[in-house]
Amino acid sequence: MSSTDDPAHRPLRSFGRIKSRALKPRQAALFDTLMPAVALPDPKAGAIDPRALAPDAKAVWLEIGFGGGEHLAAQAARHPDTLMIGCEPFLNGVGSALRHIEEGGLKNVRLHPDDARDVMAALPDASLDRVMILFPDPWHKARHNKRRLVQDAFAAEIVRLLKPGGRLRFVTDWKDYADWALEKFERTPGLEWTANRADDWRVAPEDHVVTRYEEKKLGDTAPIFLDFVRV
């Protein structure tokens, strides 16, 4: 038994519900027909080598918690020569992502329908060109802050995975989580915040994709965009 399988050492869940309603028939069918072709190898079974998954890919990106898959699919369509790895434990979101993949005819996406931290642990050092974390669960109450995805060990793991010059983007619409994440990332050796002026975190970057979740404006602030580079 690995340490991640031992309940005493397993990381706290950083996400809420796994499924909210019955999958739509089309999405349920895609789990049977498309999912086997785009699923990542089981990270608990051994190391995952992105080069083996997509030998011709010029870059490898990881999106942690892709929600309904709109952003992941749009970026994959924009960058067909990039391997897009997406992790999402919410099965309804995975079903939605499968629909986007099918409709876009995307061949450069691989999905993991579970905790992203398992995938991160299975990836080799300096294997990623970009990591994206958009609107993670904020866990508002102070006693629940320990469940937030962004912690010191998590930030250090991102540094391990990013190539020199690789990029990290964190986006949230909760002020407290933005402050929390900025503090954690700025004190992590190997990460440098790229902002030079207020608009750098207040204005969406040119390559940002607005999703339906973002349009709902569920947070207490306009989206805050924190971009970092691996130095």
Catalytically active residues are 137
Is 115 marked within a binding site?
yes
Those residues whose C-beta lies under 8 Å from the C-beta of residue 143, and which sit 6 or more positions away, are: none
Is 56 marked within a binding site?
no
Is 169 marked within a binding site?
no
Is 206 marked within a binding site?
no
What residue type is assigned to position 90 of the chain? F
Phi and psi, residue 60, nearest 5°: -130, 125
Q: Kindly report the three-state secondary structure assignment for every residue of 88-143.
A: CCCHHHHHHHHHHHHHHCCCCEEEECCCHHHHHHHCCCCCEEEEEEECCCCCCCHH
Is 44 marked within a binding site?
no
Phi and psi, residue 70, nearest 5°: -65, -50
Is 213 marked within a binding site?
yes
Is 212 marked within a binding site?
yes
Residues annotated as binding site for substrate? 141, 173, 211-214
Residues annotated as binding site? 63, 88, 115, 137, 141, 173, 211-214
Residues annotated as binding site for S-adenosyl-L-methionine? 63, 88, 115, 137
